[in-house]
Each structure stands twice: as structure tokens, then as C-alpha cells.
Structure 1
Amino acid sequence: MRILFNSRKYDGIAGGVERMSISLMNAMVARGHQVEVMSLDPGNATTFYPLDPAVRWTRIDVGDPGRKARPSEMLERLWAMRAVVRRFRPDVGIGFQQGAFVALAAAALGTRTPVIAAERNAPQRFEHLKDGHGREFQFASFRQARFVTVQFDSYRDHYPEHVRGRIVCIPNPVPPAEGAAAPAGRDGSRKTLLCVARLSYQKNQALLINAFASVAARFPDWDLELVGDGEDRDVVASLAASGALGRIRLAGAQTDVGRHYRAAHLFCLPSRWEGFPNALAEAMAFGLPAVGLAGCAGVNSLIEEGRTGLLARDAGAAALAEALSVLMVDPDRRVVMGAAARKAIASYAPEAVFDQWEALFEQAARR
């Protein structure tokens, strides 16, 4: 089977969308399928995550993918993508995120290529974005999709009726952890509250910094470590430098995140919304109990309140600090919750998830 992927950009990006789509491409190549991917990257672009050399990568290289394209650039990109579709003649195409799906659907018009829209965020995200009219455009565009994939079935009811019949729920794969955390820690040793995420408005690290700063004096043996980089780095760095007695570390983007999970004792993801929170799932796979916001779609689907972690009752720093404190003070409870978290994440084994994707590609190609 010939599978064509489309995504906006890969060059050096250590994000969840890039990691997930590359993992899926590599898995489909390993299963004997022909895979090609298009992106708007420049010709010298490289991926942060390893891409199988058997995957043909067409870099469209028209304009700057980091800004809004001019009409002439949009047209040139469309014709370049259409040339790829005609040359490769895919049995099925898939666009990761809204813009990539719309572009691929337009490029495939008249070719009878079935196109899948891969949603990577919960539809509840529109509640946090100023561009509310984007919701109507996105939902209307899904009429061009053979299928729409989401990561949790609970998202289905947040789409209009005409979309629900096309929705297929496929979670992200979570690889087995290489080692395990020891969430109790040792008496007298320093302990780490870990957050792994892009530094951004969505991931909401400012809330976590404020919450930690409010309890830091009560827990002098705890530090906060933020792994990741992003557009809010300067803001986050400024907040980190001004609070919590210098006990907040910014580690930047890391290729070996596993060592940070193994060294941590508690995980927190304070996101406003998610799709499938990869870092949270990975932390749980290492046996870390986790804290998040009860109102965050995706986070509240992975953390089982009182069993694998705790959910702050609201989106305020006081509520998050309260939830963190409950676990920071109780090593035995961290151990019990961490073990339950590790067991819960086992259901997202990569091969089982890739089986679902392969079956969906085959179903889309048959119709």
C-alpha cells in the first residue's frame, strides 16, 4: 500500500505531532508499505526524531512555514503538492493537523485519493483560543475527509453530527519505559517535580511555576525541572528566575528524556488543553504519579483521579499547589500511584496502536 503523509514542518522540531507522525511512518515502512511525506520545510531540513531512510521526504520549500503564506506562495505550494500526489499515486493520504489536512485534500482533488484528517488536539481547545471562527471552518472541512482520527472517544460528542460518523479513535503509542522511576526518593535526598512540554501558552508552565513557588518553602528538599523549549522560553525563564529560591531548572529540549523521568519523583502537566499528552503518558510508563488540571481535555482522560494521580479542581495556582502538596508530602502514596500509572499505560503498546492505524489505512483505501 502507498501511504502519503502531509505535515506542516519537521525541521528540528521536538514536538508531539512530529514524534507521532514519524513513529507511524517508520512503523508502516517496517510493515512493508511505501511511505512518502510532504512538508513545507526548506531543502536542507532535518528531523529531530529519526526518520527511516526508506521514507521519501519531499520538502516543498516555498516561502517560510513559520509565517502566513502569501496567495502566490499558497498556489505554488498547492501545485507542488499536487505533483507529488500525481507522481506517487497514493492509496491513501493523511494530513496531520488542520492546515496539512486541508492542503492535502485540495492537492488530491480529482484524483480519487481518500484522505484522512488526523486531529492532534481536543476540540475543546477552541474554548481557549481567540480565533473562535476557526472551529466552524475546521468542522466544515472534515466533509472532505474519509475518516477523522481522534485520540480519546470522549472527544466524539464535541464534534457536530456530520463529523461523528467519520470519527475513529486511535490513541498514541507509548513505548515501554527504559527503566523505572523511584517516586519515593530517599530520606534526606533532593526530589524533583518534573514537567516535560513545549514552553507555550497551551502547556501553561507559568501556572506550575507559580504553584510550586507558593509551596517551595514548605518543601525545601524539592526542585522543579522544566524540560522542553518553545516560543514562551523567555517568559518562563524570567518567572523561574524570580521565584522559588532558585530551585527551578530549565533543561531545554532533550534527546534523552528518559533519564529525566527516571530521576524524577512526581510529574505535572499543567496544560490548558491537550490531544493525547505524550509526555504525561511516558512519565506514567516510567512509574511516576502525575498531577494535572481536572478541566484539561486529554489530561483528565489519562490521569485516573486518586489512583494514578491527582487532578486540580480548577485552573488556579492555589488548586494546583494543593494537589501537588498532597503527593509531595506522601512518598508511600507516590509509590502506589506510580505503580498503578505504569500498569494503566501498558494498554497503549505501540504494536497494538500501529495495528489500528494499518487497519484504518486499509479500510480507507478500499472504500
Structure 2
Amino acid sequence: MNILFFWVAQFVDQSSGMERVLCNFANNRNHKGDHVSVAYCTEVDGKPYFALDNQIGLYNLLDFGDAKRWESKPYLTPRKKIGRELIRLFNSRKAKDFELYIKAEYLSPMIRELLKKCKPDIIISFEPKSTFYMQQALKQLHCRVPLVTMFHFSMENAFDVSSEVEREAVLQSDCVQVLTQSDKQSLKQILPECHVSYIPNVVPQYKLDQNKKGNSHIILNVGRLDAQQKRQHILLEAFGKVAGDYPEWKVELLGEDRDGGQYIARLNRIISRYHLEDRVSIHKPVKDVLSHYQSAAFFAFPSAYEGFPLAMTEAMSAGLPVVGIKSCTAVAEIIENGKDGILTDDSIDAFALGLQKLMADDSLREKWGENAHISMKEYAPDKVWEKWDSLIQRLI
């Protein structure tokens, strides 16, 4: 079987969750004996951050064209830019649709050449925009290939800013994969005729470190440094409120900076205000995340929204209980409050109380950590890949 993973994004040299999911998924299908291709689109030279099997075909869409430009917006000529801005005066979503059609027109010749080379039996798109670009190219080829659209973001805000074109692309997909049961229900309410399958992400099944037993006093957060979604500032503000009562405790952040240091500067101001310079550390992403899970006492996760929180579920698999925000649907669906973690209100004071509850009780951390480890067996690789096997076979 020929499988094409398609994502109009940089992909190379990127260390976030979607890139990791793509590499793991592609490797899994390669191990099953499929002929696997991965297509991305960027002007940037690089290679995948995560391991990708050598047998997998890796294609930059721009290599199938002449200009080899994308991020510099070659498709937006002065005339088309003026047209877009005129439309935006009356309807911002229509302007977004207009630009998507311009992009599709630019990409279609390259996508058609990609399809001729890969000859896919099924296409798995990593977002609705990529689905739309692919659908436009397939129409021009008068070609019918089953197409799955993956959703990596929460349905709570997935359609808040999306265009009508994206909605239609999702609706015309042979199947849409979502990461939580609540997302499946939400999507069916938004697009009742949509074909939806719930398939969560794979969670590695780690062994419990039986020697830790409350010896650690590290609160860990892993994720992109981001003020709007990941909100590490809430963790630091909350820790600052209780740190004086627990002088042995520290906070460790592992995350990529994507705004030129502005958010890190904000985090450092919080650290200075609470005099936590020796108790809070901020590190760049590392490939050996497991060692950090194993050295931590528990995981703190103040995200406002998530699709499927990979770092949090991996931490739970490693035996870490979690303090999360209950209004974050994906987090609340995974954490069982009072059994493998704490779900707090969305405020600094409430989050501080959640931290304090786990900081104060070694036996509670140990018990909830064991429960967290057990609860992640639901997302074991064999169970998740079996769901994908069933879906792919049905669509083929």
C-alpha cells in the first residue's frame, strides 16, 4: 500500500508535537510494510528533528516547482494582494478564502507532480488547509484517492477563525480523525454530515521508577514557551505564591522559544519578582525527555487549550501526577480529578493550591503517580495503531 502523509508546513528542524506524531506514524506504517511518503513545504533547508526511517520518501513540494519559494509569499502578487484587501474590507473570512484559493493555485502544479511520483492509495493530511490544497489538485487530475484529515487542535477553537473553504474541505474528507471523544461530539454538532473517527495519539509506555519514592522536589513543565496556549507564566506566578513555604522545591521548564525571547523575558521578570533565580530553570527542548520525567516529582500543565497533550500524557506514563486546568477540555478528559491528578479553576490562586496539595504530600504523589501510569495504558501503541489499521483498511 502506498501512503502519503501531506502537510503544507515547514516540518524540518521543528520539534513540536505534530512533527513528532507525523514521524511516529510514518515509521509505524513503514514497519508494517507500506510504501510511505512524507510531503512538506518550505524554503528552509533541513531534516526532520525526530527520527524518520531511511526507507520513507521525504519530499519538499517546492522541489517539484521552479521558484522554490513559499514563506516569502510568491503567490501574493501586488494585484492579488489588493484584491484580498478589498475583500477584507467587507468580510475577513471571504478574504481568507480568497488567499487560500491563491495558495492552492500556486501549489497545485507541484502537488500534481508529487501525486504522479508517489501514486498514493490513501492520503493523510495533517490539517484542513492542507486538505483543501490537496483536494484542488486531485480535482485537476480527475483523480479519486481516499483522504483523511487529521485534527491536532481542540475543536473548541478549531473553527473560530477558520474559513468556509476549510469547513468544506473537512466536510468533503473521506474521514476526519479527532483526538478526543469530546472533539468527536463537537465536530458532529458543527458539521453533522462529517465522517468522524476518534483516534487518540500514541503514548509511550514507560516503566515506573520504583526508587524515586518522593525523593524528587522538581515540578516539571514541557511544552512550547507560549503565553496564549501553554501559559507557563501561570505556573511561575502560582509557584511564587507558595515557594516560601517549600524551600526545597524547584520548577523546571523545557520548551522552545518562538517569539524572539519576549515571553522568556516575561517569565524572567516573574522569576525576579519572587526571587526564584536559584529555583526556576528554563531549558531548550531535549530529545531525552524521559530522563526529565523520571527526575521530577509531578507535572504542572496550565494550558488554556490542547488537542491531545503529548507531554502531559507521557509524563503520566512515566508515573507523574498532574496539576491541570479543568476548563481545558482535552486535559479534563484525560485527568481523573483526585485519582491521577488535580483539575483546578483557571486562576493563579487556584493553580497555586493545586501545586501546594501535591508538594505537601509525598504519599499522595506516589499513589496518584502510579494511577497515572496505569491510566495511560489506554493509549498504548498497539491499541492506537489498531484503530488506524481499521480505518485505513475501511477507506481503501
For normalisation by structure 1, the TM-score amounts to 0.91
Q: Please tell me the residue identity of whatever aligns with 1:2.
A: N
- Aligned-pair distance for 1:166? 0.5
Conserved 8 A contact 2:323-2:342: yes
Task: Evaluate the alpha carbon distance shift between residue 14 and residue 330 of structure 1 in structure 2; reply closer, same or farther with a 3 A threshold.
Answer: same
Return the alpha-carbon distance in structure 1 between the equivalents of residues 260 and 362 of structure 2.
31
- Aligned-pair distance for 1:22? 0.9
Alignment of 1:116-131 (within 5 A): 116-126=148-158
Alignment counterpart, residue 173 of structure 2, candidates 134, 145, 150: 145
Tell me the equivalent position of 2:202. 173
- Aligned-pair distance for 1:10? 1.4
Return the alpha-carbon distance in structure 2 between the equivalents of residues 343 and 135 of structure 1.
41
Alignment counterpart, residue 314 of structure 2, candidates 279, 282, 289: 282
Task: Evaluate the alpha carbon distance shift between residue 54 and residue 259 of structure 1 in structure 2; reply closer, same or farther with a 3 A threshold.
Answer: same
- Aligned-pair distance for 1:192? 0.5
Task: Evaluate the alpha carbon distance shift between residue 174 and residue 230 of structure 1 in structure 2; reply closer, same or farther with a 3 A threshold.
Answer: same
Matched, 1:11 2:12: yes
CA-to-partner distance for each residue in 1:43-95, whole Å, 9 max, x for gaps?
Answer: 73201100111110111233244x66634783332211121112322111011
Matched, 1:154 2:182: yes
Conserved 8 A contact 1:142-1:163: no
Task: Evaluate the alpha carbon distance shift between residue 197 and residue 289 of structure 1 in structure 2; reply closer, same or farther with a 3 A threshold.
Answer: same
Alignment counterpart, residue 395 of structure 2, candidates 355, 364, 367: 364
Tell me the equivalent position of 1:92. 122
Return the alpha-carbon distance in structure 1 between the equivalents of residues 363 and 207 of structure 2.
23
Matched, 1:227 2:233: no
Alignment counterpart, residue 320 of structure 1, candidates 334, 351, 369: 351
Conserved 8 A contact 2:218-2:252: yes
Task: Evaluate the alpha carbon distance shift between residue 118 and residue 144 of structure 1 in structure 2; reply closer, same or farther with a 3 A threshold.
Answer: same
Return the alpha-carbon distance in structure 2 between the equivalents of residues 13 and 292 of structure 1.
26
- Aligned-pair distance for 1:323? 1.0
Q: Please tell me the residue identity of whatever aligns with 2:175.
A: F
Alignment counterpart, residue 298 of structure 2, candidates 255, 258, 266: 266
Task: Return the index of the structure with the highest Cα Rg.
Answer: 2
Return the alpha-carbon distance in structure 2 between the equivalents of residues 122 and 79 of structure 1.
32
Task: Evaluate the alpha carbon distance shift between residue 68 and residue 171 of structure 1 in structure 2; reply closer, same or farther with a 3 A threshold.
Answer: farther
Unaligned runs of 5+ in 2: 63-67, 78-101
Corresponding pairs, count? 356
Tell me the equivalent position of 1:348. 379
Please tell me the root mean square deviation across aligned C-alpha atoms, in Å.
2.1
CA-to-partner distance for each residue in 1:314-354, whole Å, 9 max, x for gaps?
Answer: x1111111111111111110001000000000121112211
- Percent of paired sites with the same residue: 27
SS of equivalent residue, structure 2 residue 383: helix
Task: Evaluate the alpha carbon distance shift between residue 326 and residue 358 of structure 1 in structure 2; reply closer, same or farther with a 3 A threshold.
Answer: same
- Aligned-pair distance for 1:236? 3.7
Bigger Cα displacement from structure 2, 69-78 vs 102-111: 69-78
Task: Evaluate the alpha carbon distance shift between residue 179 and residue 41 of structure 1 in structure 2; reply closer, same or farther with a 3 A threshold.
Answer: farther
Conserved 8 A contact 1:181-1:288: no
Matched, 1:70 2:75: yes
Task: Evaluate the alpha carbon distance shift between residue 333 and residue 137 of structure 1 in structure 2; reply closer, same or farther with a 3 A threshold.
Answer: farther
Task: Evaluate the alpha carbon distance shift between residue 64 and residue 211 of structure 1 in structure 2; reply closer, same or farther with a 3 A threshold.
Answer: farther
- Aligned-pair distance for 1:27? 0.3
Bigger Cα displacement from structure 2, 53-62 vs 229-238: 229-238
Task: Evaluate the alpha carbon distance shift between residue 140 and residue 24 of structure 1 in structure 2; reply closer, same or farther with a 3 A threshold.
Answer: same
Unaligned runs of 5+ in 1: none
Return the alpha-carbon distance in structure 2 between the equivalents of residues 70 and 165 of structure 1.
31
Return the alpha-carbon distance in structure 2 between the equivalents of residues 181 and 325 of structure 1.
23
Conserved 8 A contact 1:5-1:94: yes
Matched, 1:195 2:221: yes
Alignment of 1:96-115 (within 5 A): 96-109=126-139, 110-115=142-147
Q: Please tell me the residue identity of whatever aligns with 1:223.
A: K
Tell me the equivalent position of 2:95. none
Alignment of 1:50-65 (within 5 A): 50-61=51-62, 62-65=68-71
Return the alpha-carbon distance in structure 2 between the equivalents of residues 231 and 257 of structure 1.
20
Return the alpha-carbon distance in structure 2 between the equivalents of residues 29 and 103 of structure 1.
25
SS of equivalent residue, structure 1 residue 217: helix
Return the alpha-carbon distance in structure 2 between the equivalents of residues 210 and 11 of structure 1.
34
CA-to-partner distance for each residue in 1:255-287, whole Å, 9 max, x for gaps?
Answer: 100110000001011111111100011000000
- Aligned-pair distance for 1:161? 5.6
